[in-house]
A and B are shown apart, each in its own frame.
Chain A
Amino acid sequence: MITTLLISVGLVTSISVFLALLMVIADATIANYGEVGISINEGSKELTVKGGQPLLKALNEQGIFIPSACGGRGSCGLCKVQVLQGGGQVLPTELPWLSEEEVQNNVRLSCQFKVKQDVEIKIPEELFLVKAFQTKVARIRDLTYDIKEVTLELIDPPEINTQAGQFIQFQVPEYELTDEEVYRAYSISSAPSDNKRVELEIRLVPNGICTTYVHKFLKEGDTVMINGPYGDFYLRDTEREIICVAGGSGMAPIKSILLDMVDNGISRKTRYFFGARTTKDIFLLDEMKELEEKLPDFTFIPALSDPQDDEQWSGETGLITDVIDRMVDNVQETEAYLCGSPGMIDACVKVLKNKGIPEELIYFDKFA
């Protein structure tokens, strides 16, 4: 009886050990994908990378940067890439971000899709221009109590080519709130001609990993890694009148566009509506005044939604949508550029459409 029991226990133990060994061997061999090839844009670039890693990371390591505002966590839906060969099934974590048409066209979220075999992908040509830059913090200044302007001096490479309105990704190193590097996207507020520096306007978000780092830890002289430029929010080359609308750090890309207009002698009629709550939330008034002098037909229209009794404010008051509603008419041949929170963008699009601006001429950079 005891002998039978011992044999049974021995047998079960042996089978368990054998299965465990099998799993270890499988993990080391089957899960090891070795080197795999990535062919980009019909072979215009061929890469060899370590298999099994997310496509976003594999490309990143080879110096090809796909825009991603969440640092590869599948929570921003920005890092879409067309996988023409070797894609396999779309993962459940990708589906919420993809339209039916995108699924049919083999669009994938590059942060979720792992490269386990040779693949062929298609990416916009302009992404080849995106680079990683080592920078040094040249200046940090308070624009308001919760918005800082950060000027980064480019070290390597020393120059960047951007279009006004585009954004970069800022790399946050490990610190108190994160035990790994994360990336966050911020619009560039400086002019493209100022190509040895990148200026950003960053508003403190409660408990935000990057904004807390910038507001509480970043110092002048620190090294910061960025990559970019990205984005298709830029001034269209037309003769139409321009309406710009922004609030808070939405100022950044609009300021870049205005500076670019100065540099390129663009004299189109431009009105810039900027919404804030009190005078404490308004900034760059002097810079805007200077732009009014440099641009022949430019008007800056700041508006306070809640001016305090002790504030000497003689400008516009009310929500920015009310101000636009009051001041904008005759919108023949007008296009609009908006940057801010989804609430602000949605409300402004509604007002501007009611005024007669076609939706396809309303361009926006939504923080969403």
Chain B
Amino acid sequence: MKQSPLLQHIQQQMKPGVITLDGFLGTDERNLIDILIDDDGTVRRLGRTHRAIARRMQYFRDAGYEGLGEFIKVDDYYEVRVDSVRGKLPSPFGGPALYQKVNSIVRNLKLGREIVYTDMHIHFARDHGFYEGKGSLFRIEPEDLITILEVPPEA
């Protein structure tokens, strides 16, 4: 689909070497608008919203932060570790905020599955419904987020 000049600019910002070494799009050659529409379709099909996903991501991030860099039990069957590496990144979508390189590792012990995301991913999901392009090292499948974090449908 043809996209607006604004999205075109954002897509440029997501290319390798602009903000991060590998960029945010991986091997995905589609227009950003198509990536967003595709993931939005997945989230809608599963009866969730991007905000609900981001809220759940933020919930585990905040709960895990209390573990002071080590895994901590959250609720009945989750283990979460929130850790940081040096550095901060601006969002390719613009804005003055800088996102610390904070990794949240969430283990769902009931399912025996784990997912890793950053503070930037929470911003991406909440504000833009973006989960990175296919083939990106840090791409997160929205379906995995919904399953592992057990994202509830919004009331």
Complex: how many Å from CA A208 to CA B102?
Answer: 12
**In the complex, which residues 79-94 of chain B have their Cβ closer than 8 Å to any Cβ of chain A?**
82-90
Shortest C-beta distance, B119 to chain A (Å), equals 11
- Residues A206 and B103 in contact in the complex (CB < 8 Å), given A75-B88, A343-B65: yes
Q: How far is the CB of B108 from chain A (nearest CB, A)?
A: 16
A70 within 8 A of B: yes
- Interface-lining segment among B4-12, B37-45, B49-57, B69-77: B69-77
In the assembled complex, the Cα of A275 lies from the Cα of B83 at a distance in Å of 14
- Are B71 and A207 neighbours in the complex by a CB distance under 8 Å? no
Tell whether A178 pairs with B68 under 8 Å between CB atoms, given A75-B87, A96-B90, A341-B82.
no
Taken residue by residue from 90 to 132, chain A's Cβ proximity to chain B (1 for < 8 Å, 0 otherwise) reads as 0001001000000000000000000000000000000000000
**Are A247 and B86 closer than 8 Å at their CB atoms?**
no
| A window 68-92: CB within 8 A of B | 69-71, 73, 75-78
Instruction: Give A306 to B71 CA distance when docked, in angstroms.
Output: 9
Contacts between chains A and B (CB distance < 8 A), count: 102
Contact between B68 and A368 (Cβ–Cβ < 8 Å)?
no
Residue numbers in B under 8 Å from A39 (CB-CB): none
Residue pair B85, A305 in contact (C-beta under 8 Å): no
Chain B interface size band reads 20 to 34
Pairwise interchain contact A75-B89, C-beta atoms closer than 8 A: yes
> Are B105 and A306 in contact (CB-based, < 8 A)?
no
Listed residue (B65, B68, B82) with the most chain A CB atoms within 10 angstroms of its CB: B68
Which parts of B1-46 form the interface with A (CB within 8 Å)? 19-22
Complex CA–CA separation, A185 to B86 (angstroms): 8
Chain A residues, CB < 8 A from B22: 177-178
| A292 on the B face (CB < 8 A) | no
Of listed A75, A209, A248, A320, residue having the most chain B CB within 10 A: A75
Chain A residues in 8 Å Cβ range of B65 = 343
Q: Smallest Cβ distance from A281 to chain B, in angstroms?
A: 6
B87: which A residues are within 8 A, CB to CB?
69-70, 75-76
Chain A CB within 8 A of B116 CB? yes
Which parts of A222-255 form the interface with B (CB within 8 Å)?
A: 247-248, 250
> How distant is the Cα of A340 from the Cα of B96 in the complex, in angstroms?
27
Q: Which residues of B contact A275 (CB under 8 A)?
A: 68-70
- Residues of B contacting A306 in the complex (Cβ-Cβ under 8 angstroms): 70-73
B86 contacts across to A, CB distance below 8 A: 69-70, 76, 78, 184-185, 367-368
Chain A residues near B66: list those with CB within 8 A: 319, 343
Scoring B residues 93 to 115 as 1 if CB is less than 8 Å from chain A, else 0, what string do you get?
A: 00010101111010000000000
Which residue of chain A lies nearest to B116 when distances are taken between CB atoms in the complex? A206
- Given A75-B88, A180-B21; A321-B68 close (CB under 8 Å): yes
Bound Cα distance A73, B16 (Å)? 11
Of A185, A205, A320, which is within 8 A of B83 by CB?
A205
Residues of B within 8 A of A182 (CB): 21
User: A343 to B68, Cβ gap below 8 A?
Assistant: yes
A178 to B21, CA, bound (A): 8
Complex contacts, A78 vs chain B, CB 8 Å: 86
A178 surroundings in chain B (CB, below 8 A): 21-22
Partner of B88, one of A77, A209, A344: A77
Q: Is A277 an interface residue (CB 8 A)?
A: yes
Tell whether, in the assembled complex, residue B72 and residue A247 are in contact, meaning their CB atoms are under 8 Å apart.
Answer: no
Is B85 in contact with A247, judged by CB distance below 8 angstroms?
no
Known pairs A73-B19, A207-B116, A207-B138; A305 contacts B70 (CB<8 A): yes
A343 and B137 in contact (CB under 8 A), knowing A73-B19, A185-B86, A205-B85? no
**A324 CB, nearest partner CB in chain B, Å:** 11
**Smallest CB separation, B138 vs chain A (Å):** 6
Contacts of A184 in B (CB 8 A): 86
**A342 proximal to B (CB < 8 A):** yes
Contact, CB under 8 Å: A319 / B68 = yes
With a cutoff of 8 Å between Cβ atoms, the chain A residues found around residue B96 in the complex are: 96
Beyond A178-B21, A182-B21, whether A247 also contacts B69 by CB under 8 A is yes
Q: Which of B69, B70, B83, B100 has the most CB of A within 10 A?
A: B69
Residue of A nearest to B64 (CB): A343
Cβ contact within 8 Å between A207 and B68: no
> What are 13 A-to-B residue pairs whose CB atoms are below 8 Å?
A69-B86, A73-B21, A75-B90, A76-B86, A77-B88, A96-B98, A178-B22, A203-B83, A207-B138, A247-B70, A340-B69, A341-B69, A347-B68
Besides A306-B70, A343-B69, 14 more A-B contacts (Cβ < 8 Å) are A69-B86, A73-B19, A75-B101, A76-B88, A185-B86, A206-B116, A248-B83, A305-B67, A340-B68, A342-B84, A343-B68, A343-B82, A344-B69, A368-B100
